[in-house]
A and B are shown apart, each in its own frame.
Chain A
Amino acid sequence: MRSTLKITLAAAALAATLGTAQAADKLKVGFVYVGPIGDHGWTYQHNQGRLAIEKALGDKVSTSYLEKVPEGADAERALERLARSGHKLIFATSFGYMDSVIKVAKKYPDVKFEHATGYKRAKNVATYSSRFYEGRYIIGKIAGKVSKKGMAGYIASFPIPEVVRGINSFMLGAQSVNPDFKIKIVWVNSWYDPGKEADAAKVLIAQGADIITQHTDSAAPMQVAEEKGIHAFGQASDMIKFGPHAQLTAIIDNWAPYYISRAKAVLDGTWKSEDTWGGLAAGMVVMAPYTNMPEDVKKMAEETEEAIRSGKLHPFTGPIYDQDGKLRVKKGEVMADADLLGMNWYVKGITDKLPQ
């Protein structure tokens, strides 16, 4: 359904380069995107990573991409097309591509596949993701300090572990400076719909939130916050242009270091199938400059960021209780990655029910 002119053009360009590129000894790197590269969010940032490979490795590589590829049978076709046309390293950048990647990877054992946010691996399939929750803990702490009403509005996409983990991390951060901090959550059932996201922001503000944070991709909530004179946090990209007075900071997806290192690994012959879950320390999560906040809050944010980066602080350090009062992480213990990856409960202090 979503196949568009641009896909066709990209495919045509792909077909056109086929014959010529074989001669040169370049590594061909392919990307499959779920959204348009113009979403200024998830896919946009992956595409920035692709451009970073080209910039870093110059004429040793050539890259191509297919965008707006729906999850399912279309994804399989897109992956096959890239594999058949001589791409030796292929990044599939959406969770829903998981089974397609595994299937296609079996057919092309000499092609290396990289699947974002998934958990199924094979000899030639690696997985990778970012610890965005580290950033969410920092913005939670900032919200706890900056919010006058002690209430944040959270615009969420889908109730999957990645999003739930973000909400919990934000809340734990906020509670660490304001134990009574409150949060209102609105699910818009979309990763990306500027209009809906703006509506959600307006509704949350009308219901008393004076700080907005989001796990959706567009800058629309930031614009609403700017207009209403309150604060908000950017998501995926630095959104300071959309909220010069509103943005406190933004959690930026930075895939560039990972993508460059993986392309290099293929060039050097050192590529291995592995699972990478990098955060602030790996440079995969980057905080935008801390703005529009008092000096002491800025200092606290920077110290928190440094503590997480150095490994001194883990956002999910016990004791952590869930909203029913059950102890989930014992005092002094750190939550295991497997538990983090499957998180499907809210921490204490969130009164909403988690949609199933």
Chain B
Amino acid sequence: MNGLEAFLLTVIAASTPLLLAAVGELVVERSGVLNLGVEGMMAIGAVVAFAVALGTGSPLLGAVAGALAGAAVALPFVFLTQVLAANQVASGLALALFGLGLSGLIGESFVGQPGVRLARLHIPGLSDLPFIGPVLFGHDVLVYFSFLMTAAVAWLLFHTRWGLILRAVGTNHHAAHALGHPVRRVRTLAILFGGLMAGLAGAYLSVSYTPQWVEDMTAGRGWIALALVVFATWRPWRVLAGAYLFGAVWILGLYAQAAGYGLPPQFLTALPYLATIVALVLISRNRTLTLMNTPAMIGQPFMPER
């Protein structure tokens, strides 16, 4: 395996969970809801995926279960913010803490057990090509799914009526409501989609990235995904760029250390955050465009007048 190939494979593995979670949160925020609970939903996704993969022997089934669990744990958030119109920031933080705590309880008996790794794709001929094979055709299905979902969300948001309604709800819920669009139903579906994707991101951690369960294994990735969405000004392809930039700079930092250039590791650890923020701020420097893409209703509860 040559150097560049190893580098790319490592970057792809590190970026995929960020991309999965961020694409889901993007849809949530585009509908005008801020769900800060990504970390908690990821943790639940990770532990449930691990458990189901271990129990059934099928990591793919585990991933599906993890995604569903992520959506399930988002239900209280739906109830609080959509039915009771509670504060979204507080509800989201509560979800993050609740998810982490609950995942620890569920996972107590799984600590110290190796998990089942999701198989990598193998297309006879294609996957065996040098360099191109492993880099393009040698990943597990979740990696391809993360790209597929980015494209799907980009297309749905900007090229379909469904996307138009979602964006309208996020831009001005009173107007959308007046036009007869079911604001709360749209938001509920968006939140559940965000839960599915966060759960899947967690599942990726426990059945592919590092097939094991330990408490807090999400290690802040949910928060990074949240930040990516904002700095990418709620645009799917920029989220993808941000996630991969973050992953690439992080892995480059490790390479720089291993090569012994003597750069301070504390600086290299901070570098992915810095680089991603700077890059995304630069590509989003057009204020008008940024404002156009900002969901104006974000964080504001909606109660239809009766």
Interface residues of A (CB under 8 A from B): 3-8, 35-41, 44, 153, 159, 184-190, 192-200, 202-207, 218-220, 223, 227, 237, 241-242, 351-353, 355-356
Nearest 10 Cβ contacts at the A-B interface: A5-B101, A4-B101, A187-B265, A36-B215, A38-B215, A206-B6, A194-B210, A193-B219, A220-B210, A203-B254
Chain A proximity of B156: nearest CB distance (Å) = 29
Q: Which of B246-274 contact A (CB under 8 A)?
A: 250-251, 254-255, 257-260, 262, 264-266, 269
Chain B interface helix/strand/loop/mixed: helix
B40 to chain A, nearest CB (A): 10
- Does the CB pair B259–A6 fall under 8 Å? no
Does B217 make an interface contact (CB < 8 A)? yes
Q: Which residues of A contact B111 (CB under 8 A)?
A: 38-40, 44
Alpha-carbon distance between A188 and B251 when the two chains are bound, in angstroms: 11
A-B contact count (CB 8 A): 144
Decide if B10 is an interface residue (CB 8 Å cutoff).
yes
Count of interface residues, chain B, beta-carbon cutoff 8 Å: 48
Most buried by B among A197, A205, A219: A219
User: B210, B213, B221, B264: which contacts A223 (Cβ < 8 A)?
Assistant: B210
Whether the pair B251, A199 counts as a contact (CB closer than 8 A) is yes
- Contact, CB under 8 Å: A189 / B108: no
Bound complex: CA A262 to CA B113 (Å)? 31
Which B residues from 11 to 46 make CB contacts under 8 A with A? 13-14, 17
The prevalent SS among residues of A at the interface is mixed
Q: Which residues of B contact A37 (CB under 8 A)?
A: 108, 215
A203 touches B255 (CB 8 A): yes
Closest to A202 in B: B10
**Chain B residues with CB below 8 A from A188, complex form:** 254, 265, 269
List residues of chain A with CB within 8 A of the CB of B219. 190, 192-196
Task: Report whether B258 and A186 are in contact in the complex, using a CB–CB cutoff of 8 Å.
Answer: yes
Beyond A38-B215, A198-B13, A223-B114, list 19 extra A-B contacts (CB 8 Å): A5-B105, A6-B101, A38-B104, A159-B265, A187-B257, A187-B265, A188-B254, A192-B214, A192-B216, A195-B17, A203-B258, A204-B258, A218-B210, A218-B212, A220-B210, A223-B210, A227-B117, A242-B114, A353-B262
CB of B102 closer than 8 Å to a CB of A:
yes
CB pair B205 A195 closer than 8 Å: yes
The CA-CA distance from A199 to B250 in the complex, in Å, is 9
Q: Which residues of chain B are near A198, meaning CB under 8 Å?
A: 13, 209-210
